[in-house]
Amino acid sequence: MEKQLPDALRELYEAAKKVREKAYSPYSGHKVGAAVKTSTGKIFTGCNIENSSYGATNCAERVAIQNAISNEGNIRITDLLVLTDATPPWPPCGMCRQVIAEFADKNLMIHSTNLKGNTKSVKFSELLPEAFTPDYLTAR
């Protein structure tokens, strides 16, 4: 169920809104911004960068995660906010969910919101139950 943006998410929302304006989206026509908060409390942003081959497109969520890694190295994401102009707000796509799983804190919250402030927040474990994580590669 969607509700209005809680005050606790305002900083993430504003960061995603600012970077959303830099999106390169000539094919979909939809600008998307994302902001991730790491376990250090820092916020990193990303916008969608489309490509004419479509498969080479980078979603805002992955760009934000790559930005965080480029600046901090090994990260744990505690919150991720995705901002679109769509109603209802869009959640991360399947490819983004897999990338998120690589760096997700065990209590990671995903916040899908739009420019009207409509917001849906879910635990990542509910969005991608039984995610394939690095833990599987170390299990014996």
- pLDDT tens by residue, 26-78: 999 999 999 999 999 999 999 999 999 999 999 999 999 999 999 999 999 99
With CA atoms as reference, report the closest residue to 115 among 1, 30, 28, 44.
Answer: 30
The CATH number given to 3-138 is 3.40.140.10
Q: What is the pLDDT of residues 112-125, one digit of tens each?
A: 999 999 999 999 99
Residue 72's DSSP bridge partners are: none
Give the N- to C-terminal CA distance of the chain in Å, as an integer.
40
Query: Does pLDDT of 86 surpass 70?
Result: yes
Residue with tokens 């929302």: 13
47, containing H or E segment: strand 43-47
Task: Please give the single-letter amino acid code of residue 11.
Answer: E
For the entire predicted model, the pTM comes to 0.94
Two tokens, residue 11 = 């900083």
Burial pattern 21-36, b for ≥16 Cβ within 10 A else e, equals eebebeeeeebbbbbb
Contact predicate 128/101, CB 8 Å: yes
pLDDT on residue 138: 86
Query: Does pLDDT of 4 surpass 90?
Result: no
Q: Could you list the active site residues? A: 61
